[in-house]
Amino acid sequence: MTNAGGRAESVPRRRPLGGAGCERPPEATYARGAFSGSCTSTSDVNYAAPPSCCVASSRDYRWACAQRFRIMRQPTYCSLPAHEAGFCSRESPDMAKTAKAASQTLKPSKVVVVKAPPPGPTRPGAKLAIAGGTPVSATPVPFRSTALSQADIDAAVAVLKSGMLRAAKKCEELEARFGEASGARHAMTCANGTVALQLAYEPLLKPGDDVLVPAWSFIATVSMVVARGCRPIFVDALPGTYQMDMADAARKLTRSTTTIAATHLYGCPVDINAAQKLAAKHGLKVIYDAAQAHLATYRGKGLGAFGDAVTYSFYATKNLATGEGGLISCNDDALARKIRLLRSHGETDKYLHESVGYNYRMNDITGAIGCSRLARLAEQTRQRQKNAARYDAILRAIDGLTPPATTDGAEAVYHLYVAQMDPRRFTCTRDEFVNALKAEGVPTAVHYPCPLTRQPAFASFADAKVQKSVPVAESLCQRVFALPMHHDLTDDHLRLIGEALTKVAAAYRA
């Protein structure tokens, strides 16, 4: 394409992505209508017409392989062997069709030698801090708030002074208060969230059972299934809420499936109605991992009202944090008795043991901190929800960034606020985007860097076929990032985070 003066019109290209055979210089400028020859690997490049398998758009000659690289993080966008193999066109029939049509419109003309500018964002505006500019916030915004209040310290000191450090009155108080707050008849404290899962699974699962589990979750949800001698059946996630896809769960039922083990991920309840319907139809048990969802509700009820058992974690970063600690709730008297016996050596009376069990008890120092913090949890949860609403508004105003969705009928408590970026709208990967945010003073985290189907611990349960059966989870691990979320975020913090998001998004706009 030429302009009125007969000169080739140059257009900014996407940020380069390394590949064998043709290492393009950073932020090179391409001249439309000036393609011929073949790829080279110098800083002054005679850019060539890419093979037809690599042309994704006749409008600006974006390469399909580059598109795939940004999504899958595989450096094959400019590999000549990949071109010869038709790598891109095989990956997507639609992309191949577009590539073929685009290649037919190319009219190679003279070769234009273009000098690549220094690395950096492709759009004008404020210089990113990661490239030497001034950060939005000189002091990083706190990612989480874990400080103990004076009331928490006083509660712990009171137990220390009493000398009663084992599980005692404070643990019992926490059980009663948390059970009431979550809508459960029985609540049993324990040492941590992982053993809470173990204590729930052991009486409800039998070795050899197949258990429907989320492919997108923290590992403990599934590792305790495996520890029980059961086979995990990995279920994909929903792209908006990130929760376990119950339609996919229904498709993956086996004759040996006995249980659904679902996570209320990031503080958002899973589709409980769908889970309970599936369980009722096929005679399945349901165990919910609510480690991240203290005080979340579904259709106006606490999470403890649903399922055969619900487990919680009080780890140091959780909404209700005691350092370590956990809790199991249920509404069945017989199950509650089994869990209590398992938690403490199967002991029914002093030195009388009805069954084999463990020492998974909480101590009273932890219980006291839990009671103190539970008193403020409802207020802190409301603040998290207000912060989430602010984030929603910020992200909806930025093309290519998406706030998390919430399950219909659910009230989320935002243990984490996990956003998504659309890689088609930016010239960078997710990791490059969050690194730029960090330089601007906004820390982030990735929950999680890979689906559970790719964890080495589960290799014997998740072959290549299983890995391909969870495409949403595979995509999420390249798209999601968590922003700071806690009750101590101020309006100034949120304003700075919004400015940083806007700045970085504009700098890397495709």
Total domain count, the chain: 3
Residue 453 and residue 464 in contact, taking contact as beta carbons nearer than 8 Å: no
Alpha carbon distance 47, 38 (integer Å): 7
Phi first, then psi, for residue 257 (nearest 5°) are -70, 125
Same domain? 208 vs 355? yes
Q: What's the mean per-residue pLDDT of the chain?
A: 83
DSSP string covering 132-185: T---S-SSPPPS---PPPHHHHHHHHHHHHHT--SS-HHHHHHHHHHHHHHT-S
More confident residue, 47 or 1: 1
Same domain? 154 vs 182? yes
Same domain? 84 vs 155? no
Same domain? 330 vs 270? yes
Model confidence band, residue 74 (pLDDT cutoffs 50, 70, 90): very low
Residue 289 and residue 213 in contact, taking contact as beta carbons nearer than 8 Å: no
CATH number of the structural domain spanning residue 169: 3.40.640.10
Does the residue 128 lie in any domain? Answer: no
Q: Give the domain extent around 408.
A: 133-144+375-507
Does the residue 210 lie in any domain? Answer: yes
Does the residue 203 lie in any domain? Answer: yes
Does the residue 1 lie in any domain? Answer: no
Mean pLDDT of 487-491: 97
Same domain? 101 vs 176? no
Does the residue 120 lie in any domain? Answer: no
Does the residue 176 lie in any domain? Answer: yes
Residue 482 is classified by DSSP as: E
- % pLDDT > 70, the chain: 75
Same domain? 350 vs 499? no
Same domain? 445 vs 302? no
Judged by average pLDDT, the poorest of 88-97, 166-175, 233-242, 496-505 is 88-97
Does the residue 124 lie in any domain? Answer: no
Nearest in space to 384 (alpha carbons), one of 341, 320, 440: 320
Query: Looking at 349, 372, 395, which one is the last position of a domain?
Result: 372
Query: Looking at 372, 405, 437, which one is the last position of a domain?
Result: 372
Given this model, what pLDDT does residue 126 score? 83
Mean pLDDT of 152-160: 98
Identify the residue whose tokens are 């459960």.
184
Does the residue 2 lie in any domain? Answer: no
Same domain? 139 vs 154? no
Same domain? 363 vs 461? no
Same domain? 315 vs 338? yes
More confident residue, 445 or 43: 445
As to burial, measured by CB atoms within 10 angstroms (0-12 exposed, 13-18 middle, 19+ buried), residue 492 is exposed
Judged by average pLDDT, the poorest of 9-23, 392-406, 487-501 is 9-23
CATH number of the structural domain spanning residue 437: 3.90.1150.10
Same domain? 224 vs 348? yes
Model confidence band, residue 50 (pLDDT cutoffs 50, 70, 90): very low
Same domain? 168 vs 54? no
The alpha carbon of 309 is separated from its chain's Cα centroid by a whole number of angstroms, namely 24
Query: Looking at 372, 393, 410, which one is the last position of a domain?
Result: 372
The pTM assigned to this predicted structure is 0.77
- % pLDDT > 90, the chain: 75
Given this model, what pLDDT does residue 125 score? 67
